[in-house]
Amino acid sequence: MNIPGSLTNEAVLTDPETIEWMGSRKDSDDGPRRPRIFGHTETISLLKTLIELQIGKQLPRPIIPGLELRTQRKIIKTVSAVEAAQKRSQRNRERAEQRRAKAAKGS
């Protein structure tokens, strides 16, 4: 287990292969992708929230596939409901216009 500050952590970070691997990476390798879910505990989330409040900028959070799918489904459901409401409104408007036209002819 690689716990920050532990002897194992020190051994991993001072390993020549690790040093070479870390040194050969570019900043763009760490780029804008989201961090992994593993290791993103509630404590880490709270720390990120505190940091965000201090710097006024949002930090990247891991993407949880199930929550992403639920959010996408909610958006699709909302868009569908709005479209259906607009169609009903259009139909009702057309019916009202037809009734007015019929009433105007009959008078």
Exposure string for 63-94, b = 16+ CB within 10 A, e = fewer: eeeeeeeeeeeeeeeeeeeeeeeeeeeeeeee
Token reading at 6: 């532990």
Q: For residue 29, what pLDDT band results from cuts at 50, 70 and 90?
A: low
pTM more than 0.75: no
* Cα 96 → chain centroid: 43
**Confidence (pLDDT) at 32:** 63
* pLDDT tens for each residue of 11-24: 877 888 888 887 77
pLDDT(40) > 90: no
* pLDDT tens for each residue of 45-85: 889 899 999 998 888 877 777 778 888 899 999 999 999 99
> What is the residue extent of each domain of the chain?
64-107
